Amino acid sequence: MFVLRASLMRAAAPACRALTASAPKLTARPLGLATPRPCPARYMATQAQQTTVTNSPSSYREDEIIFNPMVEGQEQIEQVAQASMNSGKPEDSFARLNYHPESEAGVNEQIAHEYTMSYAYHAMSSYFSRDNVALPGLASFFRAASLEERSHAQMLMNFQATRGGRVRLAALAAPEMDYNHLEKGDALHAMELALALEKLNFQMLFELHKTAEKHEDSNMSDFLEDMLSEQAEGVKEVSDYVAHLRRVGKGLGVVLFDEKIAQRASEVASTAVTALGA
């Protein structure tokens, strides 16, 4: 077998030398591409195939320009040159590129919703801090939830700035301040309202993601997918708390639940404070 292979290579060697001698001298290619070396005889198919590859139109000329950024980027150069400093108009953004106005408006709407949730959770925290309610664990949990939603709003504002959008803050509706409920009790009533807010937030993020996909904005889609994953986990967590509170009723079980959720509140607050400081 080895004798046969050596014989074949010796037989092919003259053709390889003839082809190499007759082929035009290859000059250095642009973009740092190395000059191709003649293939070893064992990899060369036929002389006709090699000639076809050598004379293919894809070969670059020595003086050929492959990419000229000053020509290709002329549109971007003109846009930046015409943009005004300190302007609130989207067209005056230096960074904006492929960012649809519908996406920008959707991000601003989501910012307003995150702040609205933060406002509502702050009101819940205030209620459970009252001297005639006295559930400090729930007060701490909703205070931490308020910080978390505020951090989400900040993330969206940072994204808006990164993409060259303009943040438009909206007025916030005053939240409910009294969460007492004769049948359910205040803890369960507040937690069910929180679950409704979390599910609504998930739905709004989902719709915003659809907007990003409609305009083929892969950067925005990727950003929102991280938020959607976190939001799905948040919906599950609050759902568990609703189930726990429905089991314990309105008496001593709520006090025990309050002690348990205080531990979780410190974890949420720590994460939110870190996110706000980033």
For 222, the 3-state DSSP assignment is helix
Burial (Cβ within 10 Å: 0-12, 13-18, ≥19) of residue 100: middle
Residue 100 annotated as lining a ligand binding site: no
Please check whether residue 193 is in contact with residue 179, taking contact to mean a CB–CB distance below 8 angstroms. yes
Does 198 belong to an annotated binding site?
yes
Element holding 68 (H helix, E strand):
none
113 is an annotated ligand-binding site residue:
no
**Radius of gyration of the chain measured on its C-alpha atoms:** 33
CA–CA distances in Å: residue 133 to residues 3, 27, 180: 95, 85, 9
Q: Is 109 annotated as a binding residue?
A: no
Helix (H, G, I), strand (E, B), or coil: what is residue 18?
helix
Neighbours of 233 (CB within 10 A): 10
Element (H, E) at 155: helix 136-162
114 assigned ligand-binding residue: yes
Contacts (Cβ under 8 Å, ≥6 apart) of 168: 108
What are the binding residues? 114, 149, 152, 198, 231
What are the binding residues for Fe cation? 114, 149, 152, 198, 231
